[in-house]
Structure 1
Amino acid sequence: MSSLVFLVPLALLLGASALATFLWSLKSGQYEDLDGAAERILLDDKDDRIATGESDGGALPEPSAPQNNRH
């Protein structure tokens, strides 16, 4: 019975902090764009570079020759 004196206020405190955190995230706009992240993963970065005029040259970097540092 004595453990309930400790556990009930602790449970109420944790519940209140979880509710406050949820309400804060709701107020700060965390749930405004639920579909954006799901659609953003499907976009190709190359399409974004073409739209902005950036170019990466379209070529892979040349592999460097092995360095032989033996003296």
Structure 2
Amino acid sequence: MDIIYVLVPLSIALLAIAVAIFFWAVKGGQFDDLDSPAHKILFDDDEYLNERREDST
């Protein structure tokens, strides 16, 4: 039963740390644009191929 006196404050402290890290990430702009990276990967190869074609001519 004595372990509860340690585990409850420890869990509250870990929760507070997790919430603080989440708000830090939101404030830092981590979740501003979630769609562009997914679409950008589709067009990366096209730019590379266009550069290679221009270099070879």
Provide the TM-score with structure 1 as the length reference: 0.65
State the match for 1:48 in structure 2. Answer: 47
More helix by share: 2
Match of 1:23 in 2: 23
Deviation, 1:40, is 1.4
RMSD: 2.0
Where does the alignment leave 5 or more consecutive residues of structure 2 unmatched?
Answer: none
The TM-score normalised by the length of structure 2 is 0.78
Matched position secondary structure for 1:22: helix
Question: Runs of at least 4 residues of structure 1 off by over 4 A?
Answer: none
* Percent of aligned pairs with the same amino acid: 47
Query: Secondary structure at the residue paired with 1:43?
Result: helix
Question: How many Å separate the matches in 2 of 1:10 and 1:31?
Answer: 28
Greater Rg by CA? 1
Query: Aligned residues, how many?
Result: 54
Question: Which is bigger in relative contact order (C-alpha 8 A, separation at least 6)?
Answer: 2
